[in-house]
């Protein structure tokens, strides 16, 4: 990752440059433009001392949450009790107790085939699909590869590492078995060739090695399983096969009985065979667990392959036989299952997803002891479950990890750091009541590692929106993730029956409730969502359950492109009725029905809101549902921007058609007009009559906005009328050509308009000079169209002329002939922001305002006139009027923010939360408690507020109320910004941007000086663009895969403290002692000889392996390797100290026992001597 190398030079140049004039500079390597200080920048620098410097910023990944995407392998350390999961993308997730969650990645990206723990050694061996073995050091918080061994001529198929051994057996596709020294990661000269393992009379190749394991009874014997059904029991010392087993069906897995006299195989025909070493000619027992009972003289029915079997014994009960697969072929609809056979009982556990791998957790790590299984870890394609074997009904454990993020596909995210501390407890107390029941009452068995809270203590909450309409709130404090509360937004709508919902399917084929945008005010607890079916739901939080009807509004939002060729002014009234401009609404739910076939659909919402009273449990309860409706046969367009103000009681949302403003306190629509109308006069009653539209055909491929289906690959086929992709050009682009009209009353100030009067025409036909006069009926206020569409609709913006690229200049000369423009191109509302600000130039007092940003880079300020008295807010109307103030930027507007004259970030006003269903509070007063967060105006004359606006191309800082442009920073010319937010770090504000070329850029405020520019993440998936979000305290996140959330930080302080916040994967634990086998069992139960692998596999006896067979690759060195080595040394010292303490304790106990035995011996000797003296002189007949 490259950093912004010359940011300090820019800092020096900025500080020394004069405060007047606007300069231009060259672009940086990361795509950043030069900074243009405005006319009063020098005054601002004197007033505001910026404390942030480049040393405050650094980019690094922190932690990854969620289920490992596309898992392939599973391993467990029975002593450390840690779990490892490998994936198809080369990633490894290591899990321990809650809080211990580590992610590491193979640089090659090859799929992980198998994982093997060095039990209680703090190391892990991974075998990848590129035929490479890797040794990972887990004695450090960030695991690193110590050694790698690349096989050049053979493909790895299976690995086995015996307990407390440093020699790894590696089976290959050719049927050979190699041996690797784990300490040096060098191949031994000892090789078991396939042609020596099988009989000489065998004419066919046995196939790849599918199993390797040493005998529990004798470590000098190795069991080799081949794919074609051959099993070889190999004597390592004599280098010959002691016995061979043959079976007609292919072998998938093998497992030993702990005594080492029997082993069980699973086969491709769904059978299990049990073999005895004393009679290898035929299986001791053959069963097809899920096959039908065979008739006399007929062969048993074959079933699906049993992919894996485990044979675990118990001291006080029958052994467990656990296997996956093996179901009958005639049960095609059966789900993937795990079968548990315990004695005569057979239990089939059906899974929701295919089984990738499973492991049985046992009490002992020694293979020659009773295994005593207590749980089974089952790795599914999209889930991880653990089954409790100690209870007869086999319940599952409650998973403490956030493995269900992808329960329904994630469609949007929101991240809130340093939110009110009581919110987490409140949300958890509500959500815990709705948790699933029936879990095992025992604790989660994966308890490895150690974790503490660290120094970061501020609360963090992550919100995820999903395709099924659900919302999940997560506690993300201290780099952990825990589910708090789940909200189902689909409950406010009627369920669609089969054959109904045709009005919805024209917009969304599947997932009509998918969440598209989220807006949350943590202080007031107001929550608002917009869905893909063009609806907005406002929720209020309550601790009390209620049963009430859901209030709904229906809004007509239409983009009117007039047909200039066929005006009919005589058919329109000279003074149109205002009610025709306001949307129709229904307070008791949606009362419209679907239009019959062949009839134009109009005023019909996509979904039907429930009209009956609905029970709402404690938590978030629906306050108001707002739906956009069909207009003249055209479906409503998806919502592109959303904002809510709890202090004003207003919600605003927009799409490519226009803007709607709704009062959710009085449940009324305040404003609903097309984007083009927002540029006109502020008097809504003076609008001129309109001509009817000639072409009402809806074209679904020309939406100028970012959409759900383009950002989420899984939903691309589901949503037809989606937005244009960020990286796809229009199939049939129409050139936008328009010469702008000049007005003598225009007021041009530093690149923005205070009273624009330029006029533009939108028509699909070329106009003659005689028709130009008809354009004037639009009146003043038309927006200046540009040739280049928003970067949200294009991969690279279309080239513009020199005049258009010049800042602070527009050509408004009128031509007698006006060129045609694309009548389907629409100016979408892309950003909304409520704030106490100055609505008009040179206003003396602040007032409630709504900032509106469009896809063409225009910013409009709408004035909100609220009732002065708080009691009147519930009855008096709210006036919403465009102020006539316009600002302009390059590219679609993304975000707004405001600062006071001291440089402190101003938060929007909010209402303090009060339970709306608390009877006691309602009886006291209806008065609302508002927090305005607005500084009191000073007596001196000057600007009191600075507004930060960021678009896809540049950022600007304006001084209000003078509307002077103080700073301009052209962030990128060759790409465009996907996400931008004004965040707080170290009590100072800065602007954070994520660009489509992968750069993360941080700029100081208000001077817009570059602080950081790192090429962090190339945009390889639209999922990243859709879910990337910044928040305060240097935090950010994005959806790195369909199932995982990646968190990162851009704070240097966070990077420095990250090591202390991560969990320890390895803790010093003494390896349990092996059970005493007893004299007779040791004498007759095994060979009784110690097996020295070093003597057999070492270079002295086995020689060196061929250099061309495998290549040793040293692991990465540097500081991480040194830290890992230091951690390993400290671990060894700790273990040695523990061992010495335990040895001393045992010696003390032995000394006490010896003293006791000596005392007993002395007493016995004394008693025997006395007895001898008593009977010394007596004759035999005297007894």
* 3-state secondary structure string across 259-271: CCCEEEEEECCCC
pLDDT the model gives residue 516: 95
What tens digit of pLDDT does each residue of 382-415 get? 999 999 999 989 999 999 999 999 999 999 999 9
Confidence of residue 942 (pLDDT cuts 50, 70, 90): low
Cα angle 979, 983, 985; round to 5: 135
Least Cα distance to 641 among 415, 413, 831 occurs for 831
pLDDT the model gives residue 453: 75
Asked if 806 and 850 count as a contact pair (C-beta separation under 8 A), the reply is no
Asked if 405 and 1045 count as a contact pair (C-beta separation under 8 A), the reply is yes
pLDDT the model gives residue 438: 87
Confidence of residue 1176 (pLDDT cuts 50, 70, 90): confident
pLDDT the model gives residue 741: 33
Confidence of residue 299 (pLDDT cuts 50, 70, 90): low
pLDDT the model gives residue 872: 85
Asked if 516 and 638 count as a contact pair (C-beta separation under 8 A), the reply is yes
pLDDT the model gives residue 544: 93
pLDDT the model gives residue 821: 34
pLDDT at 43 over 90: no
- Which of 192-201, 740-749, 1138-1147 tops mean pLDDT? 192-201
pLDDT the model gives residue 508: 59
What tens digit of pLDDT does each residue of 1013-1033 get? 999 987 778 899 899 999 999
pLDDT at 951 over 60: yes
- What is the rounded average pLDDT of the residues 335-361? 94
Pick from 94-108, 446-460, 849-863: least confident = 446-460
- What is the rounded average pLDDT of the residues 645-666? 95
Helix (H) or strand (E) holding 190: strand 186-192
What tens digit of pLDDT does each residue of 556-598 get? 987 665 443 334 444 333 333 333 333 333 433 333 334 444 5
Asked if 1035 and 1053 count as a contact pair (C-beta separation under 8 A), the reply is no
Confidence of residue 1123 (pLDDT cuts 50, 70, 90): very low
- What is the rounded average pLDDT of the residues 220-233? 94
What tens digit of pLDDT does each residue of 990-1001 get? 999 999 999 999
Least Cα distance to 467 among 641, 706, 711, 831 occurs for 711
Distance CA 556, CA 158 (A): 64
- What is the rounded average pLDDT of the residues 107-115? 96
pLDDT the model gives residue 972: 92
- What is the rounded average pLDDT of the residues 280-294? 87
pLDDT the model gives residue 893: 97
pLDDT at 1124 over 70: no
- What is the rounded average pLDDT of the residues 8-19? 39
Residue 151 in tokens: 């096989």
The phi-psi region of residue 356 (left if phi > 0; otherwise alpha if psi is between -120 and 50; otherwise beta) is alpha
What tens digit of pLDDT does each residue of 509-561 get? 678 999 999 999 999 999 999 999 999 999 999 999 999 999 999 999 876 65
pLDDT the model gives residue 1135: 59
- What is the rounded average pLDDT of the residues 1082-1102? 69
Confidence of residue 928 (pLDDT cuts 50, 70, 90): confident
Residue 926 in tokens: 């209806």
- Which of 576-580, 860-864, 1128-1132 tops mean pLDDT? 860-864
- What is the rounded average pLDDT of the residues 940-963? 87
Q: How many CA atoms lie within 13 A of 240 on its CB side?
A: 4
pLDDT the model gives residue 991: 97
Residue 538 in tokens: 């406002």
- What is the rounded average pLDDT of the residues 662-684? 83
Least Cα distance to 1110 among 90, 130, 146, 115 occurs for 130
- What is the rounded average pLDDT of the residues 771-797? 35
What percent of the chain shows pLDDT beyond 70?
A: 72
| Phi (first) and psi of residue 1039, to 5 degrees | -85, 105
pLDDT the model gives residue 498: 58
What tens digit of pLDDT does each residue of 479-494 get? 899 999 999 999 999 9
975 versus 1170: which is more confidently predicted?
Answer: 975
Average pLDDT score over the chain: 78
1176 versus 793: which is more confidently predicted?
Answer: 1176
Cα angle 1112, 1113, 1117; round to 5: 140
pLDDT the model gives residue 1070: 92
- What is the rounded average pLDDT of the residues 3-32? 38
Distance CA 872, CA 870 (A): 5
Whether the model pTM is above 0.85: no
pLDDT the model gives residue 380: 97
Confidence of residue 330 (pLDDT cuts 50, 70, 90): confident
Pick from 714-718, 962-966, 1040-1044, 1159-1163: least confident = 714-718
pLDDT at 1084 over 60: no
Strand partners, 505: none
pLDDT the model gives residue 188: 92
- What is the rounded average pLDDT of the residues 955-961? 94
What tens digit of pLDDT does each residue of 351-376 get? 999 999 999 999 999 999 999 999 99
């Amino acid at each position: 990752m490259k950093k912004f190398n010359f940011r300090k030079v820019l800092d020096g140049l900025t500080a020394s440059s004069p405060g007047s004039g606007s300069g231009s500079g060259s672009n940086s390597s990361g795509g950043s433009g030069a900074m243009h200080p405005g006319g009063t920048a020098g005054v601002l620098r004197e007033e505001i001392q910026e404390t942030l410097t480049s040393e405050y910023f650094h980019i690094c990944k922190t932690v990854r949450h969620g289920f490992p995407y596309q898992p392939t392998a599973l391993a467990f350390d029975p002593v450390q009790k840690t779990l490892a999961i490998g994936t198809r993308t080369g990633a490894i997730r290591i899990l321990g107790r809650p809080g211990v969650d580590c992610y590491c990645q193979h640089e090659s990206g090859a799929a992980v085939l198998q994982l093997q723990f060095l039990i209680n050694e703090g190391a892990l061996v991974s075998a990848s699909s590129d035929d490479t073995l890797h040794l990972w050091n887990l004695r450090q918080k960030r695991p690193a590869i110590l050694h790698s061994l690349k096989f050049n001529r053979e493909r790895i198929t299976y690995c086995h590492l015996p307990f407390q051994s440093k020699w790894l057996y590696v089976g290959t596709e050719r049927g050979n078995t190699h041996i690797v020294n784990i300490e040096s990661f060098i191949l031994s000269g000892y090789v078991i060739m396939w042609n020596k393992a099988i009989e000489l009379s065998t004419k066919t190749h046995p196939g790849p090695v599918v199993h390797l394991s040493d005998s529990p009874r004798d470590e000098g014997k190795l069991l080799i399983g081949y794919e074609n059904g051959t099993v070889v029991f190999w004597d390592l010392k004599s280098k010959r096969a002691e016995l061979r087993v043959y079976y007609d069906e292919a072998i998938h897995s093998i497992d030993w009985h702990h005594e080492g006299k029997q082993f069980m195989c699973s086969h491709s025909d769904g059978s299990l065979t049990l073999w005895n070493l004393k009679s290898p000619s035929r299986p001791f027992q053959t069963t097809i667990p899920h096959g039908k009972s065979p008739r006399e003289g007929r062969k048993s029915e074959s079933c699906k392959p049993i992919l894996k079997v485990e044979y675990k014994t118990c001291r006080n009960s029958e052994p467990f036989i656990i296997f996956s697969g093996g179901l009958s072929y005639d049960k095609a609809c059966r789900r993937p299952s795990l079968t548990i056979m315990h004695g005569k009982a057979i239990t089939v556990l059906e899974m929701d997803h295919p089984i990738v791998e499973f492991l049985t957790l046992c009490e002992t790590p020694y293979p020659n002891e009773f295994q005593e299984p207590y749980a089974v870890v089952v790795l599914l394609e999209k889930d991880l479950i653990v089954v409790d074997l100690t209870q007869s009904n086999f319940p599952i454990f409650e998973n403490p990890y956030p493995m269900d993020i992808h329960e329904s596909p994630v469609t949007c995210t929101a991240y809130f750091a340093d939110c009110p501390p009581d919110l987490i407890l409140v949300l958890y107390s509500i959500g815990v009541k709705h948790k699933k029941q029936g879990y095992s009452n025992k604790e989660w068995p994966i308890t490895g590692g150690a974790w503490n809270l660290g120094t970061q203590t501020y609360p963090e909450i992550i919100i995820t929106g999903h395709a099924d309409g659900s919302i999940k709130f997560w506690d993300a404090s201290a780099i952990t993730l825990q589910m708090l509360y789940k909200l189902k937004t689909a409950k406010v709508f009627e369920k669609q029956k089969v054959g109904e919902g045709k009005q919805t399917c024209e917009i969304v084929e599947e997932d009509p409730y998918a969440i598209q945008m989220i807006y949350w005010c943590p202080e007031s607890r107001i929550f608002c969502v917009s869905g893909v079916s063009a609806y907005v739901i406002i929720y209020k939080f309550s601790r009390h359950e209620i049963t009430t009807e859901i209030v709904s509004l229906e809004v007509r939002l239409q983009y009117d492109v007039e047909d200039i060729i066929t005006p009919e002014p005589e058919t329109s009234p000279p003074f149109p009725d205002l009610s025709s401009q306001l949307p129709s609404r229904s307070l008791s739910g949606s009362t419209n029905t679907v239009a019959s076939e062949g009839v134009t659909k109009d005023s019909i919402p996509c979904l039907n809101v429930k009209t009956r009273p609905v029970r709402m449990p404690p938590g978030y309860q629906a306050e108001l549902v707002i739906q956009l409706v069909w207009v003249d046969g055209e479906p409503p367009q998806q919502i592109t921007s959303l904002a809510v103000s709890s202090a004003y009681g207003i919600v605003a949302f927009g799409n490519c058609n226009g803007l709607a403003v709704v009062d959710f306190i009085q449940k009324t629509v305040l404003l609903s007009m097309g984007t083009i109308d927002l540029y006109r006069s502020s008097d809504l009653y003076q609008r001129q009559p309109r001509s009817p539209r000639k072409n009402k055909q809806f074209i679904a491929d020309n939406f100028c906005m970012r959409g759900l289906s383009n950002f989420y690959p899984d939903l691309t086929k589901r949503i037809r009328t989606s937005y244009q992709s960020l990286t796809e050009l229009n199939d049939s682009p129409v050139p936008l050509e328009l010469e702008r009209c000049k007005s003598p009353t225009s007021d041009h100030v530093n690149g923005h308009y205070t009273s624009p009067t330029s006029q533009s025409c939108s028509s699909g036909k070329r106009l003659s000079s005689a028709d130009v006069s008809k354009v004037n009926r639009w009146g003043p206020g038309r927006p200046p169209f540009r040739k280049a569409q928003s970067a949200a609709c294009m991969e690279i913006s279309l080239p513009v002329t020199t005049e258009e690229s010049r800042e602070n200049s527009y050509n408004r000369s009128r031509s007698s002939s006006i060129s045609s423009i694309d009548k389907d191109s629409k100016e979408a509302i892309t950003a909304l922001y409520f704030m106490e600000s100055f609505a008009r130039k040179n206003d003396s007092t602040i007032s409630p305002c709504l900032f509106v940003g469009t896809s063409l880079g225009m910013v409009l300020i709408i004035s909100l006139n609220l009732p002065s008295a708080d009691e009147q807010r519930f009855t008096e109307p709210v006036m919403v009027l465009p102020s006539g103030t316009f600002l302009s930027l390059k590219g679609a507007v993304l975000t707004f923010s405001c600062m006071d004259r001291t440089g402190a970030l101003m938060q929007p006003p909010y209402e303090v939360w009060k339970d709306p269903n608390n009877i006691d509070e309602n009886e006291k007063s209806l008065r609302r408690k508002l927090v305005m967060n607005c500084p009191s105006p000073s007596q001196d004359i000057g600007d009191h507020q600075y507004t930060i606006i960021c678009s896809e191309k540049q950022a600007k800082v304006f001084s209000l109320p003078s509307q002077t442009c103080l700073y301009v920073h052209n962030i990128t010319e060759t790409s465009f910004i996907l996400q931008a937010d004004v965040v707080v770090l170290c009590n100072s504000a800065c602007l954070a941007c994520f660009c489509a070329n992968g750069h993360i850029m941080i700029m100081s405020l208000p001077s817009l000086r570059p602080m950081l520019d790192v090429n962090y993440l190339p945009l390889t998936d639209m999922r990243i663009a859709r879910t990337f979000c910044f928040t305060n305290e240097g935090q950010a996140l994005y959806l790195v895969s369909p199932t995982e959330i990646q968190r990162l930080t851009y704070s240097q302080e966070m990077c420095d403290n990250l090591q202390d916040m991560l969990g320890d994967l390895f803790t010093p634990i003494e390896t349990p002692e092996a059970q005493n086998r007893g004299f007779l069992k040791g004498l007759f139960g095994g060979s009784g000889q110690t097996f020295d692998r070093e003597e057999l596999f070492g270079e002295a006896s086995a020689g060196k392996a061929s250099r061309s067979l495998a290549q040793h690759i040293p692991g990465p060195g540097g500081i991480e390797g040194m830290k890992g080595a230091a951690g390993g040394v400290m671990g060894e010292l700790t273990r040695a100290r523990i061992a010495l303490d335990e040895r001393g304790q045992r010696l003390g106990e032995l000394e006490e026992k010896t003293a006791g035995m000596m005392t007993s011996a002395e007493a016995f000797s004394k008693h025997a001597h006395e007895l001898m003296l008593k009977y010394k002189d007596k004759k035999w007949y005297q007894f």
